[in-house]
Every structure is written in structure tokens, then in C-alpha cells.
């Protein structure tokens, strides 16, 4: 049967945010892309399935990247000495303007998609640029990759240099609809509405995006309360709003019963904003690397977890410098310790187990029933060979996973599955 097999190995996943399920030498069963559970002994009904014997290797769920900018991948690791608004003007916008040129877009997006394919990430929510053809190129490459993604053609009709800003709200909306309709046939790659952030979008544009949302039933992704200068600017631009998130909400773009919204960063949310995020079911895309790189601050993730918000992790490439979600897990833990020590001693640090949960189950729930090897979950998985990380200690599989998260990189991945389909890995330089 297609997409049906059994993997034998050390199978690990988060049962909840504080507990891992670890089955040493167990069997994870995938039937038609859906998990049928993990067993110590393989039940007779699955004995006919192909067996992939991974021996002593680690088998874990795929990682989910809730926030990445594909066109910024080209300059990752460069220009990190600025804050958000100066960084946008000097790094992000000049690079993004190059995607007007389809040939450049092909070259750059080919590299991005190959590297994403070889990464820990199985599903992602991605910003493209304000260019229809380049966005379609990115979506077609992602479709071929077998990864499952949401991709947005970025809307931005104000407050950017002439060489990038869209000529009018009407133009931006028309091109958005064109992109939605011309990519509707794709299976793995779905369109997500992507107003860049409030400073980039006129009220007329936001209103039009909201109408498109209702018409096509789409999800939304954007940025929220990332940087002090940005937050002050939103207050000036939208004096009619009570707070930043309210400016999205007034247009019906902040999540609700019939659609989901991802808001990236959420570093400086007020209690009022947090209460509305909870009410609307907003997904926080926590991007610790970017928040450090652009000196934005430390998002209070413990507070969000205590408040019952939905939280996943994001690379925010290229304000984050790597697509590596293991790094994002580590940095989630590290910055939470600084927050606890330096900002608020009542907010205890995020544990490694919790951060692993956020990278798998937390973000995964945006895309469906994902992140656990339990009956009915979609089968996204990574097989890791950690034998290159040498030690004189005898470690159990849970300890080996923790160590791989801290010390490993994508070279550990020997197999990767999305909905039970194996992704072919090409080992290329990062
Ligand atoms: N806010 C608006 N655009 C961007 C972007 O490209 N990166 C980040 N980090 N924040 C943004
Ligand atoms: Fe971003």
C-alpha cells in the first residue's frame, strides 16, 4: 500500500508539554500517511507492511516553522547590527525588490527550497514578496519538494521605498486574487493572506484583504508587537485602534472561528492584547533568534503558555540566520532563562521538553493533527543518526534527543517523511 509502512527505532514524541513518550526499539506504524500508533511488539495486522528498520536511531516528529521569509534567505547571516525598521530599509527591502526579476527569483528560491527540504522542517508558513510571478515560482518549487507549506504574496502599499512599494491598494488586491486563483490547483502548497504588517498596509488595503479572506476562506499571517519603534508607529498610523492587535482585528484579520491567524514575534504584547489573542485563537510564532538579532527583546513565552495562548516556533529567516529548528528550540530555552533572570522572576524558564513540544505539537496544530505518533495523526517524521556526537556516557534515547537538539545539525537527518511520503534528501552545503 502506498504511504504505508512500519518504522522500527527509538520512537520519541511529546505526549504533552511536560512529558515525552519514549519507546526504545519500538514500531511506529503509518497507514496511508496516517499514524496508527507506536507499539513495543508489532501487531499481526501490520506484519504485511514494509518494515524500515532504523536500528538504534532516533525517530521523532517533523518540525514546524510558523514564520519564515523565503526571499530573505539569500542574505542570512548578514546585516545583523540594526533594529527592525532600519534593517527593513537597508537589508530586507532592497533584496526583496530583486524578485521582480523572475530569473533572480528562480535562482534564489531554488536554494531556499533545497535547503528547507534538507532541514528539520516538514511544514512551514512562508512570506514571499509583493511580486506575483516570483511568488508562483516559489510555490511551484515548494510543491515539487513534497513539503507542506502556506505561502503568501506580501501586501504592502505604503511606507516602503518606491522600488518595492505597490502602486495602490487596488493593484495589490488584484494581484493577490490572481495569485490565489493561479495557485489553487497546488496540493501541498496553500495560499495564506500576508499583509506585511500594519505600517505597510493602508486601511483601504486591509479592508480589501479582509473581503478576499471571506470570499476565499483563507488563513492570515503577519507581524505583531515586535519592536518599540514599530509599535509607536502603529499607534500614530491607527489612532482609532486601542492597541496593535486591535488594528488587525478591526478589519477581521486577527483570527476567528472560521479562520486562523499567525502573528510573528509578539515580543511586547499588553495584557489587553494577550486577552484578544486568546479570544481569537491567534497563533504566536515565537522567533527567539530574530528577536535577539534585531534587539527586539524577549517574548514572554511562559506568560503566553500560562495564559493559554497557542504558541509555535519560527525561524524568521533572515532576521533569524538559520532554518535549523533545533537551534530555535535551544534559543527558546535560552532567552526564556534571561527573561526569568533579568525581567520577571515569576516566569520560570521554558524547559527543553516544552520547547520541543512547541516546535512539534504547538506549531503543528496550525497545519492539522500533527506532532504526535498517535492514532489518527498525520505521519510526519525524522530519522536521526546521532552516532557522530561522541561521548563516553551510556545515554537513553530521551537524553540522546536532548543532546542532538543542542549539538546536532541537519547532517543528522537520514530520513524525512511528510504525510507518510519520504522526502528525498540531497546533502548539500548550507
Ligand atoms: N516586520 C515587517 N516586515 C518584517 C520582516 O521582514 N521581518 C521582521 N522580522 N519583521 C518584519
Ligand atoms: Fe518576519
> What was the pLDDT predicted at 1?
55
Average pLDDT over residues 267-292: 98
Structure confidence by residue, pLDDT tens digits, 307-361: 999 999 999 999 999 999 999 999 999 999 999 999 999 999 999 999 999 999 9
What does 6-67 look like in DSSP terms, one character per residue?
Answer: EEEEEEEEEEETTEEEEEEEEEEEEETTEEEEEESS--GGGTTSEEEEEEEEEEEEPEEEEE
Please state the atom number of ligand 1 nearest to the C-alpha of residue 200. 2
Q: Among residues of the chain, what percentage have pLDDT more than 70?
A: 99
For residue 132, which of 68, 184, 182, 93 has the smallest C-alpha distance? 182
Could you tell me if the CB of 316 is within 6 A of ligand 1? Answer: yes
Average pLDDT over residues 32-36: 98
Structure confidence by residue, pLDDT tens digits, 175-233: 999 999 999 999 999 999 999 999 999 999 999 999 999 999 999 999 999 999 999 99
Average pLDDT over residues 25-30: 98
Q: Does 428 score more than 90 pLDDT? A: no
Could you tell me if the CB of 223 is within 6 A of ligand 1? Answer: yes
Average pLDDT over residues 249-264: 98
Please state the atom number of ligand 1 nearest to the C-alpha of residue 127. 6
Structure confidence by residue, pLDDT tens digits, 226-245: 999 999 999 999 999 999 99
Q: Does 292 score more than 60 pLDDT? A: yes
Range list of H helices, 284-351: 288-293, 301-306, 325-338
Average pLDDT over residues 254-264: 98
Could you tell me if the CB of 65 is within 6 A of ligand 1? Answer: no
User: If you average pLDDT over every residue of the chain, what do you get?
Assistant: 97
Q: Take residue 19 and report the three cell numbers written for it.
A: 512529558
Q: How far is CA 5 from CA 34, 53, 379, in A?
A: 10, 11, 11
d(CA 280, CA 220): 12
Protein residue with least CA distance to atom 7, ligand 1: 319
Do residues 135 and 113 touch, judged by C-beta distance below 8 A? no
For residue 194, which of 113, 268, 253, 267 has the smallest C-alpha distance? 253
Average pLDDT over residues 244-271: 98
Q: How much distance in Å is there from the Cα of 88 to the middle of ligand 1?
A: 7
Q: Among residues of the chain, what percentage have pLDDT more than 90?
A: 98
Q: How much distance in Å is there from the Cα of 214 to the middle of ligand 2?
A: 24
> What was the pLDDT predicted at 312?
99
Structure confidence by residue, pLDDT tens digits, 40-85: 999 999 999 999 999 999 999 999 999 999 999 999 999 999 999 9
Q: How much distance in Å is there from the Cα of 313 to the middle of ligand 2?
A: 12
Average pLDDT over residues 296-311: 98
> What was the pLDDT predicted at 384?
98
Protein residue with least CA distance to atom 9, ligand 1: 319
Higher pLDDT, 427 or 351: 351
What does 112-178 look like in DSSP terms, one character per residue?
Answer: HHHHHHTSSEEEEEEE--S-HHHHHHHHHHHHHHT-EEEEEPEE--SSS-TTTS-S-HHHHHHHHHH
- Shortest-distance ligand to the CA of residue 289: 1
> What was the pLDDT predicted at 392?
98
Q: How much distance in Å is there from the Cα of 197 to the middle of ligand 1?
A: 8
Q: Does 93 score more than 60 pLDDT? A: yes
Q: Does 427 score more than 70 pLDDT? A: no
Could you tell me if the CB of 319 is within 6 A of ligand 1? Answer: yes
pTM for the whole thing? 0.98
Residue 2's pLDDT band (cuts 50, 70, 90): low
Amino acid at each position: 500500500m502506498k504511504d504505508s509502512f512500519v518504522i522500527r527505532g527509538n520512537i520519541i514524541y511529546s505526549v504533552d508539554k511536560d512529558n515525552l513518550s519514549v519507546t526504545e526499539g519500538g514500531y511506529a506504524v503509518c497507514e496511508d500517511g496516517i499514524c496508527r500508533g507506536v507499539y513495543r511488539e508489532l501487531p499481526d495486522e501490520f506484519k504485511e507492511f514494509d518494515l524500515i528498520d532504523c536500528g538504534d536511531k532516533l525517530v521523532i516528529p517533523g518540525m514546524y516553522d510558523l514564520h519564515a521569509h523565503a526571499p530573505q534567505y539569500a542574505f542570512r547571516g548578514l546585516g545583523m547590527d540594526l533594529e527592525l525598521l532600519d534593517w527593513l530599509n537597508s537589508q530586507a527591502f532592497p533584496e526583496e525588490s530583486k524578485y521582480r526579476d523572475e530569473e533572480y527569483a528562480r535562482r534564489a528560491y531554488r536554494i531556499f527550497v533545497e535547503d528547507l527540504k534538507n532541514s528539520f522542517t516538514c511544514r512551514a508558513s512562508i512570506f514571499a514578496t509583493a511580486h506575483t510571478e516570483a511568488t508562483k515560482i516559489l510555490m511551484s518549487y515548494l510543491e515539487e519538494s513534497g513539503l507542506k507549506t502556506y505561502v503568501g504574496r506580501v501586501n504592502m502599499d505604503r511606507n516602503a521605498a518606491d522600488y518595492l512599494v505597490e502602486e495602490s491598494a487596488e493593484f495589490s488586491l488584484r494581484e493577490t486574487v490572481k495569485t490565489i486563483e493561479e495557485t489553487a490547483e497546488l496540493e501541498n502548497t496553500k495560499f495564506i493572506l500576508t499583509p506585511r504588517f500594519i505600517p505597510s498596509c493602508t486601511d483601504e488595503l486591509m479592508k480589501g484583504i479582509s473581503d478576499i479572506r471571506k470570499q476565499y476562506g483563507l488563513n492570515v499571517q503577519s507581524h505583531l508587537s515586535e519592536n518599540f519603534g514599530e509599535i509607536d508607529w502603529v499607534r500614530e498610523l491607527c489612532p482609532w485602534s486601542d492597541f496593535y492587535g486591535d488594528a488587525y482585528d478591526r478589519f477581521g484579520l486577527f483570527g476567528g472561528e472560521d479562520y486562523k491567524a499567525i502573528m510573528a514575534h509578539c515580543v511586547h504584547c499588553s495584557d489587553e492584547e494577550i486577552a484578544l489573542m486568546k479570544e481569537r485563537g491567534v497563533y504566536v510564532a515565537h522567533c527567539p533568534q530574530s528577536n535577539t538579532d534585531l534587539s527586539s527583546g524577549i517574548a514572554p513565552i511562559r506568560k503566553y503558555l500560562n495564559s493559554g495562548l497557542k504558541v509555535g516556533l519560527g525561524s524568521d529567516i533572515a532576521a533569524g540566520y538559520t532554518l535549523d529548528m533545533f537551534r530555535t528550540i535551544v534559543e527558546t530555552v535560552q532567552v526564556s532563562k534571561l527573561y526569568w533572570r533579568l525581567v520577571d522572576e515569576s516566569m520560570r524558564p521554558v524547559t527543553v521538553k516544552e520547547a520541543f513540544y512547541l516546535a512539534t505539537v504547538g506549531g503543528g496544530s496550525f497545519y492539522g493533527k500533527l506532532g504526535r505518533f498517535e492514532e489518527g495523526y498525520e505521519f510526519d517524521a525524522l530519522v536521526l543518526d546521532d552516532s557522530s556526537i561522541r561521548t563516553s556516557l551510556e545515554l537513553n534515547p530521551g537524553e540522546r534527543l536532548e543532546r542532538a537538539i543542542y549539538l546536532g545539525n541537519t547532517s543528522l537527518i537520514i530520513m524525512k517523511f511528510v504525510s507518510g511520503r519520504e522526502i528525498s534528501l540531497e546533502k548539500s552545503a548550507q
